[in-house]
Amino acid sequence: MRDPGSVFDALGDATRRRLVAELSALGGASSTDLARRMPISRQAVCKHLDLLADAGLVSSQRHGRAVVYRLTPEPFTDAVSWMTQVGAAWDDRLGALRSQLKRRRR
């Protein structure tokens, strides 16, 4: 599992989260197609896609003159796994605290 920090950094921006949602709904799209759905220019979309690609969240493939972007699932899976591990550790700690508080009440 790779460090999920770059995933969280990339997803910290609302525009990039919206691009991820659009790509998820469409299955893949060019920057031009995405810009038509967004309130920003195609150039701005490209910059955001570059940051998502740097984080490993999207891949691109040339189809004729267009470059089609698709989500890459592995970094999302790594980030979810990390959150699950951290959440489980907190569940254990909170369970122990709950047990201790119950013992003190008796």
The predicted-structure confidence for 4-53, as pLDDT tens digits, reads as follows 889 999 999 999 999 999 999 999 999 999 999 999 999 999 999 999 99
Q: Give pLDDT tens digits for 70-99.
A: 999 999 888 888 888 887 767 677 777 788
Q: What pLDDT is recorded for position 57?
A: 96
Neighbour tally for 36: CB within 10 Å: 11
pLDDT band at 68 (very low <50, low <70, confident <90, very high): very high
- Which tokens is 4 given? 């999920």
pTM to 2 decimal places: 0.79
State the Cα–Cα distance between residues 75 and 7, nearest whole angstrom. Answer: 7
- Tell me which CATH code domain 5-105 carries: 1.10.10.10
pLDDT at 100 over 70: yes
